[in-house]
Structure 1
Amino acid sequence: MSDLPDIKTWANDYPRGHVIALHAHAFCQLVFAKRGAMRVKARGGTWVVPPGRALWMPAREPHEVFCRTEVAMRTVYISDSVRLPFVASFAVLGVSALMRELIVRLVEGPVADGTRPHLLALLIADLKTGPVMPLNLPEPADERLARVAGLLMEDPADRRGLDDWAAAAGMARRSFARRFAADTGLSFGAWRRRLRLLGGIERLAAGEPVTAVALEAGYDSTSAFIHAFRREFGVTPGRYFGAGP
């Protein structure tokens, strides 16, 4: 197994609200939220890492981490010689039961020298087939749109419509909508929905009741929030967090 990449590991627990300031690493990172939820800010956007999910971060990319809850972070640093389809991109990954055990075993040990390469080979194989999840919020490059995005991030429940936001940006409605989609890869409506739902995931991970989360996110009812959540992520909030249908 001489073709395997070099790795390092790190484990630490952080309190709610802890911030890991802007920094970068020479290795790629597989950051696993064994417990808790994290928000990672980097070039081009924000990524939310709920409990039981992992974030792949490319090497040498500056990023900062905000712990939305108490967080048990388990990290495998992998040299960028590894061959993965997303090796040069940020990606939130679904974590299978096998991947979870491999990460925890590699990070927390104990691991015999002869066993470590086999565990790493299994982890890389599982990474190649693991699902990439829509848990990122792209950041518009246009300064006018970035101001609008910033205002909405401060108050996701703001109910102003497309015409209002286009006017706030000093743009025609059509130009605003076209440029927003070009900058982020999402329509303005889809971007705002994802913003609300990602915030909802963080609040649900912190143990807040779904009704309160739905209203804080700007939805008129719990059922409307659950419908939007299922449309975006394919499951209800209860199933997403392993607590119901």
Structure 2
Amino acid sequence: MANFEMRVRPVEAGQGNIAVYGDDPAGTPDLVQFWPLGHTERRDPILEMRAEWGGRANPLVAALPSMLSIALADDPQVRRLSEILVEEARAARCGSDGALSRLCEVLIIHLMRREIERGSTSPGLVSGLSDNRLSRAIVAMHNDPGRRWNNRELADLSHLSLSRFAELFPLKVGLSPQAYLRKWRLTLARRDVEGGVQVQSVARKLGYSSAEALTHAFKREFGATPRNVRARQQASTAA
């Protein structure tokens, strides 16, 4: 989800959404928990930070469970990463804040990859990404949303026949390929509009024929025009 920037920062106890826990006197990490859209629920973590990655506007964040948890005994790689993270926090050296942010980003990515690899029983983005065939098509649409993708191209990327791709994609993702692409484009359009980018520029970048075409699709999806959404965002920021 390179279209959404992840920001990680240290916070006071109880205000974070990613925490490292340990039960022994030395404070050796043995558990990591991440609440993508919430906040820590257990007390006394060894380390607590706040990670923001687009909130519900980021479809991957919105598709994740309310909490991701991993016992570090089950994953030596994540355990070592957690140990380095805690060591860096305790040392409080010059540049620690930046190092902590980068390490925390890597830790979160490991947690999400683990969730994706586990798959999902219900249709959605996590279920689609857990399928090694469909994930190629999903990543391609995410990386180049302005391209006029057709199902044949996406099926070829997935190494599936056109009919099998058209059947499997909605079963796993819950939307047809073209419906998913439209939703992804509009997700990015809203992010850009709220960030102050001109509608014409957004339309051009995301493959719409005109600003009017984007405005029509935008209003159908969100119930408001780009101009109204931008005005609300600016008013909220100024408040």
TM (norm. structure 1) is 0.48
Higher share in strand: 1
Larger Rg: 2
TM-score, normalising length: structure 2: 0.49
